[in-house]
Amino acid sequence: MRLGIVGGSGLYQMAAVEDAELVEIETPWGKPSDSLLLGRIGDTPVAFLPRHGRGHRLTPTELNYRANIAALKMVGCTDVLSISACGSFREELPPGTFVLVDQYVDRTRRRTNSFFGDGVVAHVSLAQPSCGSLADVTEDALKALGLSHRRGGSYLVMEGPQFSSRAESLLYRAAGLDVIGMTAMPEAALAREAELCYQTVAMVTDFDAWHGEHEAVDVAQVLEVLHRNVANSQSLVVAVAERLGGRATACASGCRTALDHAVITDRSVWPEDTVARLAVVAGRVLK
């Protein structure tokens, strides 16, 4: 197994990676956000990708989500730990809290959200979009590190790059959602199509715009919290990698068989060029 690590805002480097090598990857959907850092943490092979590129060059909408997930799959990743900054709709989830997200509400509108199409149609289930097995390992690591966290939470994915209006923030809070961010979709959906075990660890940086006793979120506020907690994020990645130990783990969530029965298009009409492109992420079911 290889652990893929997607670093969000504030997490652009992974100093703990040993035998490190930067590798340029070209996928059938273009280039990922940046070169991948391949190496190992303890006995676990890892691949680190800064989601927004080193130096934070790409907006959430500009990200090539398909290339990012495809690149991780191409270098042998089986599991993906996604680190993401987020706002909180809950007083009990203050800045600095790590949330193991288990549900998403997608309110993006300008992003391609599937590898499939162009003659081959597939429908995967996102009823349980996060990997319970990887969440178990991550929760154990958070407990061992003594980091404030919560297992489970709903993540509203907005388009951005602007932050929410107060009316939007109050609406999402009233709907019972927990956190808000800009990047978890279509990342989580594409990971499911690629049959990767995927878990978002959302680190709360602010109270978005709903809280009357706190100023509305701005970049300075986000960066202040991120800078304080980047060491915690890196320690978490190391602790997860050490617990995985380079061993292939069972997946009770069915992530690695997500494409079983998902392809609905009759094999006799599959376009050859589409099949060749999809083989990168879905070769197991296209043989």
Binding residues for phosphate, by number, are 9, 51-52, 84-85, 183
What the block records as the tokens of 55 is 């130096």
Residues 285, 265: Cα–Cα separation, whole Å: 12
Of 203, 186, 18, 37, which Cα lies nearest the Cα of 116? 186
In sequence order, the 6+-apart residues with CB closer than 8 A to the CB of 100 are 130, 135, 138, 139, 142, 149, 150, 151, 152, 153, 199, 200, 201
In sequence order, the 6+-apart residues with CB closer than 8 A to the CB of 213 are none
Q: Count CB-CB contacts under 10 A for residue 270.
A: 15
Q: Which residues pair with 141 in a beta bridge?
A: none
Q: Catalytic site residues?
A: 206, 208
Is 148:98 a contact under the CB 8 Å cutoff?
yes
Distance of CA 43 to the CA centre of its chain: 23
Residues 156, 202: Cα–Cα separation, whole Å: 11
**Which residues in the chain belong to E strands, given as ranges?**
3-7, 18-23, 36-41, 44-50, 79-88, 98-100, 103-107, 149-151, 154-158, 179-181, 197-206
What the block records as the tokens of 181 is 């961010």
Sequence length of the chain is 287
